[in-house]
Structure 1
Amino acid sequence: MVFDYIDGAAGEELTARRNRAAFQHVLLKPEVLVDVSTRSSRTRLFGQDVAMPLVIGPTGLNGAAWGHGDLCIARVAARANIPFVMSTAATVGMREMDAAAGRLRWFQLYMLKDRGLATEFLKQIASYRFDVLQLTVDTAVGGRRNRDIRNGFTLPFRWTMANLVDAARHARWALQMARHGVPTLKVFADLLGGAAQGSTISDVMQQQISASFSWSDIQWLREQWDGKLVLKGLTTPTHARLAREVGADGAVVSNHGGRQLDGAGSTIEMLPAFRESAHDMTVLIDSGFRTGVDIAKAIALGADGVQLGRATLYGLAAKGEPGVARALEILGHEFDLAIALCGARTVEEMRGRYTISESRHLSEL
């Protein structure tokens, strides 16, 4: 049930599959007889030096994959000198995260219905030295994730006979849960003064998320938050223009990994037009990224960086903190090879080193 929570998506999972399939139609341009003996993956995001154009993006309920999973990811990101975005749906509190997080502290926010509570929450986030805020904007309602419904994956866990048998077949995972305790939405619990419960993970989140927050309300958030403001879940050139108009510092081109609207387009096919409309705004992208070559393609198409979701969660679920570190190591090595074989010595030199497959143009996907 935990694998399906991580691996699954909304509806028939058409968008999740499209996220992957679209990469085959973006072709990198190899280059030869270029001195690439000295090269670097370093870059800057929102004025911060980072080791490579990667961000470990916000993912919820990481403690279900591995005990204190959020802390495992944060420690690896700190050592790798890349940002980790703590989720509002984290299974550890901000005080615990404060001890594990490195200097690159980003936080993901779901806009709450109660503006007073939201204001206090923003003050708390700032007090723990988070300086980049990502507002997730594509969850006004929760997507229907059929695997979670079929498995009865709830918070707290609902122990049906099927789930008990499933847990018994995964002894290492069961021991992890026994040792660290059943995960809860700790940030929500601390904020609300009690545990949040619901029939599905989406329901738990939906209890407190505002479905009425709109473009005209972003100004209110901009006035409350002094740090960098990023809107996560944008996809179209119109979204890019509106984000600039409301004063956002950046955007994440994202379809939530296909976990919200099934039947939407992939993010990599939307990136070029979005980048053009974003002008000098920092543009990140997520959804469907699994390899360093995928990351190189996004950079070539104009992204400033890539946010990882499942790629590092698979590592976490397999082996905890060492698994996350190994996943990052593989991705970093693949990215370095890709840019070298494209004749690029820096992230910036990788821009534009792509073409579109003649068999399928991105606009036709």
Structure 2
Amino acid sequence: MALLDALCRRRLRAAHSIDDLRDAARRTLPRMVFDYVDGGAQSESTMRQNRAAFEHHRLLSAAPVDVSRRSTATALFGQSLAMPLIIGPTGYASAFWPKGDLALARGAAAAGVPFVVSNGANARLRDIAEASGGQAWLQLYIAHDKQATLGLIGEARALGFETLEVTVDTALPGRRLRDIRNGFTVPYSWTPAKVVDVLRHPGWMLRALPHGAPRPGLMPMEQGRSWATVSEFVRSQINPAIGWDDLKWLRDQWPGTLIVKGLLDPGQVEPAIAAGYDGIVISNHGGRQLDGAVSTLDVLPDFAAAAKRRIPLLIDSGVRTGTDILKAVALGASAVQVGRATLYGLSTAGEAGVGHALGIFRTELDMAMALVGLNRVADATPAIVRAIA
């Protein structure tokens, strides 16, 4: 293990960007595991468009400005954040690193940002709450059996969770062709080709296999049953009949901060406010659901116009740099949520890799603020952004 730890440290020293961490994760993980985190739905056009939107929006510098008193800190829902970033919900984290949910929670807490516990987490909620130091939020899918949903949110309340993030864009899980082609099953199934691939990634093998295949910690899983892909397992858990009446029901059950995740139509701002929600995550699920969906950054200004500052807007999908964070805040977001970026760090070096990814974001955000001419990230406005053809 000492040699493996030394290799992890070397890979982190060589990773100066999130793209570098992605390359390190690709070298570390077996193909079926890397493709699970890295891939999107069908042709992956939404995933590509998410990045293209950030590239098509450029920043306008206001130099010279005195930027000697910069701070990336912000506040959201009464919580102080070291920067306007949240680690969003990413299921099956223990496929990338043993006890991956705990590593994500600890890494986020050390960096001063929230971590959203995935409904598909592999650890017990109690353990994640302890690891997070009280900074974690909980993602929720409304289940077929609402009593199961009530049981989970009751446990969350008892453990001190204050923020719930209900995801609504998964009536059916996206068709992720990489997982189908790789045979990434729940639990793992093995073929000669997969065994050979694992042997080519001894670091992952020596860390992961002693713990066995990841199992859901918050979702029920029938003993002895398997699913062809992770998406098929998710399909078995999620109720496709969810509407605004169900979201209003959830509002009645949860006394804390309640956020709806997965909106892409600015016309849904009013229903969210009317239902009593405290925040919105504009999301296309990182391109893992509807192939051909609009990018979140492209619709963010329309959401901002509809919200009129009455409700905080968060955005995910495609965020890879600190400059991306500044663009999103300038166009109306209170914060961004990231998923793949911190999983690349997790895959490379566990908790240290998560912290490294978050450090990259904060360094790049601070540098972008200085070069644009901002001392406070909250002072970013649409005036510093130009959309190019």
TM over 0.5, shorter chain: yes
* 3-state DSSP of counterpart to 2:86: strand
Aligned with 2:206 (options 151, 175, 184): 175
Q: Deviations over 1:212-252 (max 9, x none)?
A: 01012211101111111101001121111211111110010
The answer for the alignment partner of 1:52 in structure 2 is 83
Give the 3 Å change call, closer, same or farther, for CA 75–254 of structure 1 in structure 2. Answer: same
The answer for the alignment partner of 2:8 in structure 1 is none
Paired with 2:225 and 2:116, the residues of 1 have a C-alpha distance of 22
Aligned residue pairs, count: 357
The answer for the alignment partner of 1:165 in structure 2 is 196
**CA contact 2:110–2:355 (8 Å) conserved in 1:** no
Aligned with 1:307 (options 311, 333, 337): 337
Paired with 2:380 and 2:133, the residues of 1 have a C-alpha distance of 28
* 3-state DSSP of counterpart to 2:361: helix
Paired with 1:92 and 1:181, the residues of 2 have a C-alpha distance of 13
Deviation of 1:98 (Å): 2.5
Give the 3 Å change call, closer, same or farther, for CA 303–348 of structure 1 in structure 2. Answer: same
* 3-state DSSP of counterpart to 2:219: helix
The answer for the alignment partner of 1:261 in structure 2 is 290
The answer for the alignment partner of 2:315 in structure 1 is 285
Paired with 2:207 and 2:224, the residues of 1 have a C-alpha distance of 21
Deviation of 1:356 (Å): 2.8
Are residues 1:115 and 2:142 paired?
no
Aligned with 2:360 (options 327, 330, 335): 330
**CA contact 1:188–1:195 (8 Å) conserved in 2:** no
The answer for the alignment partner of 1:222 in structure 2 is 251
Matches within 5 A, 1:72-111: 72-111=103-142
Which stretch of structure 1 is more off in the superposition, 56-65 or 237-246? 237-246
Gaps of 5+ in 2: 1-31
Paired with 2:225 and 2:236, the residues of 1 have a C-alpha distance of 8
Provide TM-score, normalisation by structure 2.
0.89
**CA contact 1:56–1:312 (8 Å) conserved in 2:** yes
* 3-state DSSP of counterpart to 1:339: helix
**CA contact 1:61–1:89 (8 Å) conserved in 2:** yes
**CA contact 1:184–1:195 (8 Å) conserved in 2:** no
Deviation of 1:52 (Å): 0.6
Deviation of 1:351 (Å): 2.2
Aligned with 2:215 (options 178, 184, 196): 184
**CA contact 2:61–2:372 (8 Å) conserved in 1:** yes
The amino acid that maps onto 1:221 is: L
Which stretch of structure 1 is more off in the superposition, 113-122 or 222-231? 113-122
Paired with 2:159 and 2:297, the residues of 1 have a C-alpha distance of 34
Deviation of 1:99 (Å): 2.2
Q: Deviations over 1:46-86 (max 9, x none)?
A: 11111110000000000001111111110011111110000
Give the 3 Å change call, closer, same or farther, for CA 353–344 of structure 1 in structure 2. Answer: farther
**CA contact 1:185–1:195 (8 Å) conserved in 2:** no
The answer for the alignment partner of 2:70 in structure 1 is 39
The amino acid that maps onto 1:204 is: F
The answer for the alignment partner of 2:325 in structure 1 is 295
Aligned with 2:349 (options 295, 298, 319): 319
Q: Deviations over 1:136-188 (max 9, x none)?
A: 10001010000000000011001111211111111111111123332111211
The answer for the alignment partner of 2:301 in structure 1 is 272
The amino acid that maps onto 1:298 is: A
The answer for the alignment partner of 1:15 in structure 2 is 46
**CA contact 2:84–2:335 (8 Å) conserved in 1:** yes
Give the 3 Å change call, closer, same or farther, for CA 236–84 of structure 1 in structure 2. Answer: same
* 3-state DSSP of counterpart to 1:106: strand
The answer for the alignment partner of 1:128 in structure 2 is 159
Structure 1 runs (4+) deviating above 3 angstroms are 192-197
Paired with 2:307 and 2:194, the residues of 1 have a C-alpha distance of 46
**CA contact 1:342–1:350 (8 Å) conserved in 2:** no
Paired with 2:133 and 2:209, the residues of 1 have a C-alpha distance of 28
Gaps of 5+ in 1: 361-365
Percent identity between the aligned chains? 48
Deviation of 1:195 (Å): 7.7
Coordinate RMSD, CA, aligned = 1.4
